[in-house]
Structure formats: C-alpha cells, structure tokens
C-alpha cells in the first residue's frame, strides 16, 4: 500500500507500480468485472435470419446476444430513452449505451455485408425466465 498526503491509496495488481504487476502481466492475468444479470423482456420466436438465395454453408454468421436484442427492442422499437431502458434492464445507462451500440453494429454488419444473424441464448442464466415474466407482466399493466 502506498501513501500520498496521509491517505491510504490501494494499488491494483494491474497498476504498473504494484509489486506483482510484472508477474501478473507474464501470467496473462487480467482483472475483469463480473457480468451483471440483465433483465430480458423478450423471447424471440425466430432465432436465425439469413439473406435470401445464399446457401447456409457460404454465409458468415453474426451472433446477437439476448441482452443486445433487448436493448434494440427497448431503444429502437419501444423508443425509450437510454436511462429508462437501462432501468428496465437493471443496468447502468452507460452499460446500456455500450450494449445498444454493439447490437446496432452487429445488425448493420449483417445487413450491409450479407451475413446471417443468429440470436444467441448462450449467455442467459436459468433465473432469467422468471425475471422475463416479471417484466412482461409489468409492461402489460
């Protein structure tokens, strides 16, 4: 721990001045924040979209996560402000902005370059169906 102006300043192992920084860098260790659960209020009926007339084996694929689809639904389909949409998903406004930007980029890439768009269910924990139902019921009120 280093001290500056009589106040304790904790150093992260990723800080260049930390005694173990070089050791962590050599080992390839990084500190990543855990992904916060996101409330998803949509269950897509179709999970795959592809350009017409092109065989599946010839297509590149873009994978759209469920949280990205939900961000597109809230921002573009329902027209919510980012702060309101972020609150519905249970995340910060900045996180929502990052998710919706990533989603728009993926959809644009698929449309412009003629790629298949796959809606991925991989990142959804088991507890989401209950949360999804909660959100859907709130929206119907």
Domain positions in the chain are: 1-32, 48-140
Length of the chain (residues): 141
Band (pLDDT 50/70/90 cuts) for residue 68 is very high
Query: pLDDT at position 135, please?
Result: 45
Tell me the CA distances in angstroms from 117 to 47, 56, 103, one per residue in order: 8, 11, 11
Dist CA 90 CA 132 (whole Å): 12
Computed over every residue of the chain, the mean pLDDT equals 75
Instruction: Look at strands 2-4 and 7-9 and give their pairing.
Output: antiparallel
What are 98's two structure tokens?
A: 């990052």
Dist CA 42 CA 97 (whole Å): 19
Q: pLDDT digit string (tens) for 17-48?
A: 555 666 666 666 666 666 667 777 778 888 89
Angle at 65 between CA 60 and CA 68, to 5 degrees: 115
Angle at 100 between CA 96 and CA 104, to 5 degrees: 175
Name the CATH architecture for the domain at 48-140.
Orthogonal Bundle (1.10)
Most confident of 26-35, 36-45, 88-97, 127-136: 88-97
């Amino acid at each position: 721990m280093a001290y500056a102006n009589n106040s304790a300043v904790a150093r992260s192992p990723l800080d260049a001045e930390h005694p173990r920084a070089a050791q962590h860098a050599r080992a390839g260790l990084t500190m990543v924040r855990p992904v916060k659960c996101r409330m998803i209020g949509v269950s897509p009926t179709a999970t795959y979209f592809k350009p017409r007339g092109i065989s599946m084996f010839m297509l590149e694929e873009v994978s759209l996560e469920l949280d990205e689809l939900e961000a597109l639904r809230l921002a573009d389909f329902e027209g919510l402000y980012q702060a309101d949409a972020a609150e519905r998903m249970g995340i910060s406004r900045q996180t929502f902005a990052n998710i919706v930007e990533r989603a728009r980029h993926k959809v644009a890439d698929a449309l412009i370059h003629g790629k298949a768009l796959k809606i991925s269910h991989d990142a959804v924990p088991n507890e989401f169906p209950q949360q999804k139902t909660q959100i859907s019921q709130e929206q119907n009120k």
